[in-house]
Amino acid sequence: MSSLSRAPIAIVAAMHEELGALLALMPDEQRVRVPGRDFWVGHLHGQPVVAVLSRIGKVAAAITATVLLERFGVRAIVFTGVAGGLAPGVNVGDVVVATQLLQHDLDASPIFPKYEVPLMGLSRFAADATMADALAAVAETTLRDPVALLGQEAVDEFGLRSPRVHRGLLVSGDRFVSTTAESAALQRALPDALAVEMEGASVAQVCHDYGVPFAAMRTISDRADDAAHGDFSRFVVAVASRYSLALVDAWLASLSPRELS
């Protein structure tokens, strides 16, 4: 087997709770310290992996992705975390698997069209279709029984009776969208956007430049409106971290040793 086929898969978590849950499953993780960041190298389900916290915002996440590619030579990057729902029907407890990603706060007009990355001619970066298909399939299966996954208390607390999986546009920006006015403005400007967060599109751009497959899945923690200041920490612990762990674990278990080579 070539060294390329055994290059690691990167699992990038947006929250400490998600990363901690993932590390608890890795039997042989070893910390590699790169200035400002801890990268955890090990295996899950026979797959070599590197797990890391992205840090918050587009620049921090892009730096993390670049180190993963340059220092660790990863062959794919999967990003997990939370997001605010934008589109109608994208509710708390649902999962969004990105097919495209865009920076909603990028505007170099009139020199370039709004949202377009200067000198690239692109505003939307495609997620890897094979990875996105597999993650969506795993999510569909995993979310069928939220009580088994989360427990009755969490299901009741957050009203997660029938969580759904959505696929489509995920938008990123360097601000936490948490007012109804901001959310409505984004929906008008980008009517096909499903959810909003702060990192994914920048990682997608880095992976595009390097020609490395990228996928992102986000748990909806709020509706990115005036009610977005709920018990966020409690949701991350009780729901989002458990979602991320279950979905990443099931996806890695489904891969053959040579897949994604």
Domain ranges of the chain: 9-253
Q: What is the mean pLDDT of residues 252-257?
A: 78
Which single residue is written with the structure tokens 């909003």? 196
pLDDT score of 4: 40
- What is the second-level CATH architecture of the domain 9-253? 3-Layer(aba) Sandwich (3.40)
Instruction: Report the predicted TM-score, pTM, of the whole model to 2 decimal places.
Output: 0.92
Q: What is the pLDDT of residues 97-137, one digit of tens each?
A: 999 999 999 999 999 999 999 999 999 999 999 999 999 99
Q: What is the pLDDT of residues 17-61, one digit of tens each?
A: 888 888 988 889 999 999 789 999 999 988 999 999 999 999 999
Binned at pLDDT 50, 70 and 90, residue 1 comes out as very low
Q: What is the pLDDT of residues 183-242, one digit of tens each?
A: 899 999 999 999 999 999 999 999 999 999 999 999 998 876 666 556 778 888 889 889
Q: Which one, of 242, 245, 247, lies nearest residue 136 by Cα? A: 247
pLDDT score of 3: 38
C-alpha pair distances (Å), 212 with each of 66, 112, 121, 208, 260: 11, 26, 19, 6, 10
**Active site (catalytic) residues:** 18, 222
